[in-house]
Amino acid sequence: MQTTAIISAILALLSGVGIFLIACQMMSSNLEAASSAKLKKLFSKTSSNKLLGVGIGAASTAVIQSSGATTVMTIGFVNAGILSLFQAATIIYGANIGTTITAQIVALGMFGKSALSSSIIFSAFVGLGAFMIMFSKRQNTKVLGGIIAGFGMLFVGLTLMSGSMESFAAQDSIKEFLAKISNPLLLVLLGAILTAIIQSSSVMTSIALTMVVTKLISLDQGILLTMGSNIGSCVVAIIAGATNGKNARRTALIHLLFNCCGVIFFMIVGWIISLATSGGTTYGTIFERLFPGAAQTQLAMFHTFFNVATVALMLPLTNSLVSVVKRFIPEKEAIAEDKNILQLKYVNENMLKSTPIAVEQTKKEILRMADIALENVNHSLDIIMTMDFSSHDTFKQREKELDFMNQALVDFTVKLQGSDGLSEKDKLYLSTIYRTVRDLERIGDYAENIVEYALNLNKSKEHFSTMALKEIEALKKEVNQLYSYALTAYKDEDFNALDKANILEEEIDDFTDNMELNHINRLANGICTPTVGAQYLSLSSDVERIADHLINVAKSIRQLNSKKEQKSGNFA
């Protein structure tokens, strides 16, 4: 009978942990969708201000309910060069504070032993949220329903975990076994290992809470398990850092050292307090006095105090911590890094853990691709005007990068579209990316054509006339102005800029038509040869198509907000 009870308790525990994890994921994805715009703005405000970094880390973790996701995003930003190690450190500090909210919510749900306890009331939110998801036609209501249902599922999982712990607590053999595990280092290690397996410090802390409340373990044991969970939570960051560049590995190491320093400091202080007091005072006895009769609050408040105090301790030492990790992972490692290795700068798969941020970073990557495409357009026109091929290798490297980015961005967008937590506008934006990157890649191809024309002219020892060169120079200025309007429209969803881009594109069409007429006149007057003329006509045609592709990029904003377009009077 005892064996059956233990097996049932283990199954109930697994069920509770599973539901709790799904609830966290469900809340996280829907909270991200509901606050995507604010989350994007939040990360855009990073600066060298320590407290601001902590606030951003805490707020973003509170929003997405995952310190792991915040840390992984931070590692991605450091790897992309968007954040410094100093900024990343402060955001990670804040993430540790933000993650304590989950424990406080769980503790709140454990009050009341009557038939109508707070846990049962909160569990009922699952039904309310499900009805909102199933019967509402508005996307915002569905997202809110997902948040409410996820919140309720936290307490369904918690109820199952609590029930399993009560079953374990009824077994004297299990209580006796757990009571023997009193070594602080062993308990911290156990908390770290279990958290590394589960990959969620929130779940580990919640399990510790239920074990303390059901008197399966003491409050001091629960405190040590919770401290260990902070170390175990670093596993996600270590995995993310190991698959990225030098600074990403440094950021992961900062996370690990920060949490280890906090645990070591608290264990030393706890040992000193115990020796200095005749009654063997511990953190458990201190928090029992501060919050009498509420074991769940005692552990939840210690968890919050521990993380806040660790941040207060480490914040003044941030520069020293950054210096230490730079010594562990020195600059000389950069020698082994091949600068010609093609990779996206602003996005990687770790970004998929926070879809709103990933969407914003994807847009930055597309803007970078557009800059590279324009560089090659200007470069190709300079080459054909000057016949200077000294930097041709740089041009070819950029063309390879454009081809790579085209495929890499499409692959990333496919994965991003399959992620949870996308707002309707983000979904619309992602649907435009496929054509946008194709347009930018085609711009690069036309630039490559122009260089080919230059190579042909060089081979035949011919060149354009002075008049033709002046026309190409004027055309280059027009294209650069068009690029400025088109990218402003794309970046800011500016329909006024789109109007200007449309007007300028028509002017470029007229300009290239005149180029052809002028060429025919020069040909008739013997100023240029048929061979030169063929290259010139091809060039004007290619630049016209480059302008068409730039307009396509700008026009993609029409799909995102038709109301703005109507207000601007742009119905073209």
Per-residue pLDDT, 446: 95
CB atoms under 10 Å from CB of 474, counted, come to: 12
CA-based angle 185:186:187, to the nearest 5? 90
Sketch out the chain's domains with CATH numbers.
Answer: 2-332 (no CATH), 351-568 (1.20.58.220)
Per-residue pLDDT, 476: 94
Taken as a whole, the chain contains a residue count of 572
Contact 30, 139 (CB under 8 A): no
Alpha-carbon separation of residue 479 from 502, 542, 544, 550 (angstroms)? 12, 12, 9, 9
Tokens of 546: 């480059």
Tokens of 366: 């597309």
Contact 377, 369 (CB under 8 A): no
CB atoms under 10 Å from CB of 347, counted, come to: 26
DSSP symbol at 349: G
Helix (H) or strand (E) holding 331: none
DSSP symbol at 215: T
CA-based angle 342:344:346, to the nearest 5? 150
CA-based angle 567:437:338, to the nearest 5? 135
Per-residue pLDDT, 510: 93
- Tokens 């450091």 -> residue: 78
Contact 373, 447 (CB under 8 A): yes
Hey, CA dihedral for 243, 247, 250, 255, is it positive or negative?
Answer: negative
Tokens of 246: 């030098």
Per-residue pLDDT, 548: 95
CA–CA dist 122, 133 (Å, integer): 17
Q: Where are the alpha helices (DSSP H) in 65-99?
A: 67-79, 85-98
The residues, any chain, with a CB within 8 Å of residue 566's CB and separated by 6 or more, are none
Per-residue pLDDT, 568: 45
Alpha-carbon separation of residue 532 from 418, 457, 458, 494, 542 (angstroms)? 51, 7, 11, 41, 15
User: Three-class SS of residue 339?
Assistant: coil
CA-based angle 52:58:59, to the nearest 5? 85
Contact 501, 495 (CB under 8 A): no
Cα atoms found within 13 Å of the Cα of residue 305, Cβ hemisphere only: 13
- Tokens 């009805």 -> residue: 131
User: Tens-of-pLDDT digits for all 572 residues of the chain?
Assistant: 467 777 777 788 788 778 877 776 676 666 666 665 565 566 656 656 778 888 888 877 776 666 777 777 777 777 766 678 888 889 889 888 888 887 887 777 666 554 445 667 777 888 888 888 888 878 778 878 887 888 788 777 767 776 776 666 666 676 677 777 888 899 999 889 888 877 778 778 888 888 888 888 889 999 999 999 889 888 877 877 776 678 878 888 998 999 999 999 999 999 888 888 876 788 999 999 998 888 888 999 999 999 999 999 999 999 899 999 988 888 654 434 445 577 888 887 777 777 777 888 899 899 999 999 999 999 999 999 999 999 899 999 999 999 999 999 999 999 998 877 677 888 889 999 999 999 999 999 999 999 999 999 888 888 888 888 999 999 999 999 999 999 999 998 899 999 999 999 999 999 999 988 887 888 777 777 777 888 888 999 999 999 999 999 999 988 876 544 444 444 33
CA–CA dist 486, 504 (Å, integer): 10
